[in-house]
Amino acid sequence: MSSAGRVTAACLAVAGCLTAAREAMGQTKGAAGPDAGVSPEPPAPFAFADFSWVPGNAGASERPLSWGPFTGEVRMDLAYHDDASQPIDHTISGSSEAFRSDELQLTQIGVGGDFDYDNVQARFMTQFGLYSQATPAGDASPSRGQWNLADAYRYVSEAYGGYHVNALDGINIQGGLFLSYLGLWSYYNFDNWTYQPSYVSSSLPWYMNGLRVQIFTSDKLKIEPWIVNGWESYGMFNEMPGLGVQILWAPAGWLRFAFNQYAGTDTLQTPGRYRVHSDDSVMVKYYERKGASLLSKAAASLTLDAGCEWGGYGGTANGTLAPAGPVACMNGTAAVPAQFFLGLMAYTRLWFDRDLFGFTIGGGAVDNPGRYLVLLPPINGATAATGTPYFPEGPGQQFEAWDTETAFDYLPNGYLTFRIEYDHRVASVPYFSGHLGVTPIVNGVMGNTGLPGSAVPGWAPNLVPTEDRVTLAMLVKL
């Protein structure tokens, strides 16, 4: 199998490649030996430089859990979040990574790895811990039809197989459940510069279920079209699948671009409503001094997003019994509201003392009328499928927000990160958990009441427009 196949099978599930790329780079530099005189293989994709500085691409250069065609992987994400509101139900609202306050919790327990033999590829990773409950709750597609897709995939974050074609600089044809590229940050917190991503990343899909083709035209460029069931969904919301493409380009070791485009019909039982989205990032390493005892490296990222929905009736709006009326991309009216998404996030990260310490600061902002990409607060057990009248999501509902994150990391080696982080988030409407929380209290007893997300007579959630949170995390990746 070619070195390009080894690279893409092992580490191109997310927007990056480090360990296998380094190994392949050594292989493609082969000196005289038994293969002398044989035409050299094409350069391994993105192996011409060390891209471990790229957001979503952290990790050691060695893979200690390797046996023959199998490269194992173990992830552990232990976190403590202290929300300044001190919600009495310990529930954090509006986050795709932080779920409980003032408790030690395991966000992710992942065990799996990559198989690669005779051009056949496979990757599998579990997702035990809070991810196994919170991630499926954000997908409304299992409510359409029979067989509980949320439970079928609940404990799996990645599971796909594929075949490597020895053409160009390598082509991978892969199908199954794979991680999304939209939003720049990785689904796994170990890989990122911060624990809590900004709204742009947190609002976009973490995974997709379908088929993708990774086409490496050179060691600096990947073109990857995909056809999936939908926008972060196990099943299909309507009859049209989601279509998309990523273009990943690294013209130099200090510069990287990611362009992601998507189109689909992703409003449940509303086949006449269409969605388009563009997510584009640039990453720059603007300083490096290897071995420096003070500042050893510095990098920055900028992500810009724009998208919208348009189209007519069908189904019901989240949290109400009213028809889901038509919406417009721009220039909305009272009868046909505008429904779009505009967002940005920017970060800079510094590494100190030979990359032993890291410091990140950044944040972003979004404008999302219609709230079609806003994470639903888990009020009375609400999910994306149930909605809730306490936080309606539908035409005409406004939502603007901004946030900032500051993180300090201790990196004793490439397999372990200790992180302390401060997050400040603001929304234009009450959105975050206040002191009285989002779990009903009836006759002095706290607990979900009635159908998930439904109204409870005499009770209302305590939502506030700002959140301040401190996170302590220990992140492991072997």
What does the pLDDT look like over 403-447, one tens digit per residue? 999 999 999 998 999 999 999 999 999 999 999 999 999 988 999
pLDDT of 309 higher than 60 = yes
Confidence grade of residue 322 (pLDDT, cut at 50, 70, 90):
very low
All structural domains of the chain, each given as residue ranges with its CATH number in brackets, are 3-477 (2.40.160.10)
- pLDDT mean over 304-308: 96
Say if CB 434 and CB 85 are below 8 A apart.
yes
Confidence grade of residue 291 (pLDDT, cut at 50, 70, 90):
confident
**pLDDT reported for residue 313:** 62
What does the pLDDT look like over 22-63, one tens digit per residue? 333 333 333 334 444 445 566 788 888 999 999 988 777 788
Give residue 202's Cα distance to chain centre: 7
**pLDDT reported for residue 181:** 78
Confidence grade of residue 292 (pLDDT, cut at 50, 70, 90):
confident
What does the pLDDT look like over 80-136, one tens digit per residue? 999 999 999 999 999 999 999 999 999 999 999 999 999 999 999 999 999 999 999
Say if CB 339 and CB 308 are below 8 A apart.
yes
Angle between helices 19-28 and 3-11 (to 10 degrees): 170
What does the pLDDT look like over 151-185, one tens digit per residue? 999 999 999 999 999 999 999 999 999 998 788 99
Measure the CA–CA gap between 309 and 327, rounded to whole angstroms.
7
What does the pLDDT look like over 449-460, one tens digit per residue? 999 999 999 999
pLDDT of 7 higher than 90 = no
**pLDDT reported for residue 75:** 96
Percent of the chain with pLDDT over 90: 76
- pTM of the shown model: 0.86
**pLDDT reported for residue 44:** 80
Give residue 235's Cα distance to chain centre: 18
**pLDDT reported for residue 5:** 37
Nearest 5°: CA angle at 391, between 388 and 396? 115
What does the pLDDT look like over 187-233, one tens digit per residue? 999 999 999 999 999 999 999 999 999 999 999 999 999 999 999 99
Say if CB 5 and CB 45 are below 8 A apart.
no
Higher local confidence (pLDDT), 153 or 292: 153
Ranges of beta strands (E only) in 84-206 are: 104-117, 120-126, 156-165, 171-179
- pLDDT mean over 388-405: 94
Higher local confidence (pLDDT), 150 or 291: 150
- Tokens linked to 312: 């007519």
Higher local confidence (pLDDT), 285 or 293: 285
Looking at every residue in the chain, the average pLDDT score rounds to 88
Size (the chain), residues: 478
**pLDDT reported for residue 314:** 53
Confidence grade of residue 269 (pLDDT, cut at 50, 70, 90):
confident
Determine the residue type at 286. Y
**pLDDT reported for residue 59:** 76
**pLDDT reported for residue 38:** 47
What does the pLDDT look like over 329-363, one tens digit per residue? 988 888 899 999 999 999 999 999 999 999 999 99
Give residue 389's Cα distance to chain centre: 27
Percent of the chain with pLDDT over 70: 89
**pLDDT reported for residue 42:** 67
Q: Which residues contact 443 (CB under 8 A, 6 or more apart)?
A: none
Measure the CA–CA gap between 43 and 217, rounded to whole angstroms.
11
